[in-house]
């Protein structure tokens, strides 16, 4: 005499015979979708990777990790190749910048005129190093290699505005003004 079999538990046994298992479709993040759209638009340009990275950072404020794969797919590159270019150039960021971006020139002329002391003052004042952002998200500190103000060194750029012959006092005033304009102290 045979024992009756219990009906199979669908959670344990998989799909019914003759039916394919459903493959979960991963939904792309908004950053990945934007990167794919930008990459598709620019991919036919010669040397398209840098223009694509610039456009993604312009639109998103940074180049998030989940935007690397769609860029790589559009250009038929590996993710490692895209990541290598992304991390090679200090201009690109993988995290959002602070409300204000302070760039200190690191070129020879500025160094000869005191940029290293100015950079050290900025690091102490802000409490972060280059490629960092203050704890409150107010200011990102970035190095830049020549602002074209060599005859007026040392130079900085704050929120896209160049400033020449900058001293520690000048830098403090500029940061205070930026804080007042945005309603938060950098």
CATH of the domain at 161: 3.40.30.10
Domain extent at residue 152? 100-180
Residue 160 lies in a domain: yes
Cα radius of gyration rounded to whole Å, the chain: 25
Same domain (yes/no): 104, 84:
no
Quick one: pLDDT at residue 185?
45
Which among 148, 179, 155 is positioned nearest to 103, based on CA atoms? 155
Convert the pLDDT of each residue in 120-136 to its tens digit: 999 999 999 998 999 99
Same domain (yes/no): 117, 70:
no
Residue 140 lies in a domain: yes
Is the pLDDT confidence value at 2 over 70?
no
Is 62 one of the annotated binding-site residues?
A: no
Is 128 one of the annotated binding-site residues?
A: no
Same domain (yes/no): 47, 118:
no
* Separation CA 186–CA 180 (nearest Å): 9
Same domain (yes/no): 104, 170:
yes
* Separation CA 52–CA 34 (nearest Å): 11
Q: Considering its fold, how many domains does the chain have in total?
A: 2
Same domain (yes/no): 150, 170:
yes
* Separation CA 71–CA 41 (nearest Å): 11
Please, which residues bridge with residue 103 across strands?
142, 157
Same domain (yes/no): 42, 73:
yes
Domain boundary among 88, 118, 134: 88
Same domain (yes/no): 41, 112:
no
Buried b vs exposed e over 109-134: b needs ≥16 C-beta within 10 Å? Answer: bbbebbbeebbebbeebbebebebbb
Is the pLDDT confidence value at 11 over 90?
no
pLDDT-above-90 percentage for the chain? 73
């Amino acid at each position: 005499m045979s024992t009756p079999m219990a009906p199979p538990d669908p959670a344990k046994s998989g799909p019914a015979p003759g039916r394919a298992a459903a493959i979960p479709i991963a939904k792309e993040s908004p950053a990945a979708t934007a990167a794919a759209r930008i990459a598709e638009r620019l991919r036919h340009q010669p040397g398209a990777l840098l223009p694509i990275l610039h456009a993604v950072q312009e639109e998103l404020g940074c180049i998030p990790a989940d935007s690397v794969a769609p860029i790589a797919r559009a250009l038929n590159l590996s993710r490692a190749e895209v990541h290598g270019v992304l991390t090679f150039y200090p201009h690109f960021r993988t995290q959002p910048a602070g409300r204000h971006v302070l760039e200190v020139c690191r070129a020879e002329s500025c160094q000869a005129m005191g940029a290293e002391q100015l950079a050290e003052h900025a690091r102490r004042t802000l409490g972060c190093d280059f490629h960092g952002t203050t704890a409150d998200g107010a200011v990102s500190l970035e190095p830049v290699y020549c602002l074209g103000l060599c005859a007026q060194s040392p130079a900085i750029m704050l929120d896209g505005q160049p400033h020449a012959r900058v001293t520690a006092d000048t830098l403090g005033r500029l940061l205070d003004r930026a804080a007042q304009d945005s309603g938060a102290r950098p």
